[in-house]
Copies of this chain bind each other. A is one copy, B any other.
Amino acid sequence: MNKDEFRENGYAFVDWIADYMEEIEKYPVKAKVEPGEIKRKLPGSPPEKGEEFEEIFRDFKEIIVPGMTHWQHPGWFAYFPANNSPESILAELLTAGMGAQCMVWATSPAATELEEVVTEWLRQLMDLPGDWVGVIQDTASTATLCALLTAREWASDFQVNERGMDKNFTVYVSGEAHSSAEKGMKIAGFGRENIRYIETDDKFAMKPEELERAIIEDMDKGFRPTVVIATLGTTSSGAFDPVEEIGKICKRHKIWLHVDAAHAGPAAMLQEKSHLFRGLENVDSFVFNPHKWLLTNFDCSVYYVKEPDLLTRTMSIDPAYLKTTHDQEVKNFRDWGIQLGRRFRALKLWFVLRSYGAKGLKEFLREHIRLGELFQSIIEETKDFELMAPAELGLICFRFNNGKMEREELDRFNRELMERINSGGEIFLTHTVLREEFVLRLAIGQRTTREKHVQRAWDIILQEAKNLKKQFS
């Protein structure tokens, strides 16, 4: 492809994205395809000769796009959002154009230093402790794994890296913690048997007294309590573990405290939500995802640590072929995470932070929270619907319940209700299980979601519930 063709195709792609953003509501938010349907439309073998670019683009539009679930659709209420924004998309284009691999300072000085700058900007915006230092990871899964590994080395005086894992290290989470916590614990070699799931209160938040009881019990049995993972904004219900009290317990017993604020993190920018983020001064590591609720293309996860030396001692490798002149003066982020190779993720974050400014970001967050409160009040005021967990930041857990169904029937009703809601294609929401009960989750956070979309979502939910009720009774 020569320069003129690149420009021509580039313009065409930009146009396509511009149209896609404008017309996204014409697509069903959740793909209406059956397993295997896309695969059957694609040849089983690669072409021998290169094909025309226009042909590939045409297949993209005709085969791939109709098979996608559209995360940027304003009717996206599933899981958590993964927002992008025009500014972030264009920054990703520059990143791809430069094609830099940012493993060490020398391979990309501006990328390394911009990463230092934007993570510091976010630290200020979110009013996080002044001694925290940031690094960008791909996902919270990886960041949490880094935390577990650092805790493991810190607790063993770096002897696990040296001699292998000890079997008496225990880890603590609430039953509401994200699955990546359990996965990370397995990867790091703790073993599922050494995970303690701490009971939660009626708001699905970890009970600190239960945590301390479990820690003491383990110490009495000869275990070494190593790390607590507290969640600010759980995936299931948006619960906030009491980090302030948990932090004191961790300090008392010399336990690493990692905080997973993957989705809720940006809300720390809001004065009126600052109470949810109290007690961070006793936290050792903290992760949140700008790729969830901060307009920045997936993947982009920001990980803060209080003592970077512990992280880099855990992660550093030192082969001859990676030594560079300034190693003592610069940050080589290859030693701040799992992967050696690193994308230039700071660029999109920089474009987003500058384009929106503190003011724009806060307005963006507040509007979703307002819409969440609106939806919550609708649920609370509507007969036959009930709120299933407190709603803080635009995530509402609810279900249909007319008081006439047994537990199992209730679950069946709500599961069927969800299928019907999603099959229409206008909105997409998902479920969770709380105290063994099937619960619908409506997560508001997509960039383009407006009040009318939330209203429309409610109209659909109500209508489908009415239809289904007739069928059930």
Contacts and interface: CB of A to CB of B under 8 A. Distances in A.
A357 B50 contact: yes
A355 B1 contact: yes
Interface stretch (A2-10, A205-213, A460-468): A2-10
A107 B69 contact: yes
A100 interface: yes
A310 interface: no
Interface in A65-109: 65-72, 78-79, 82-90, 92-101, 105-109
Contact of A68 (B100, B162, B356): B100
Contacts of A165: 164-165, 167, 189, 191
The majority secondary structure among interface residues of chain A is helix
The contact size tier of chain A is 35 or more
A235 B194 CA distance: 38
Given A7-B14, A190-B164, A321-B235, A354 B31 contact: no
A221 interface: no
Interface string A262-300: 000000000000000000000000000001000001110
Contacts of A107: 69, 71, 78-79
Interface stretch (A120-128, A196-204, A253-261, A371-379): A120-128
Interface string A7-23: 10111011111101110
A68 B99 contact: no
Nearest to A298: B101
Contacts of A140: 340-341
B46 A121 contact: yes
A38 B45 CA distance: 47
Nearest to A194: B164
B183 A46 contact: no
Contacts of A85: 1
Contacts of A433: 320-321
A114 interface: yes
Interface in A161-184: 161-167, 169, 178-180, 182-183
A216 interface: no
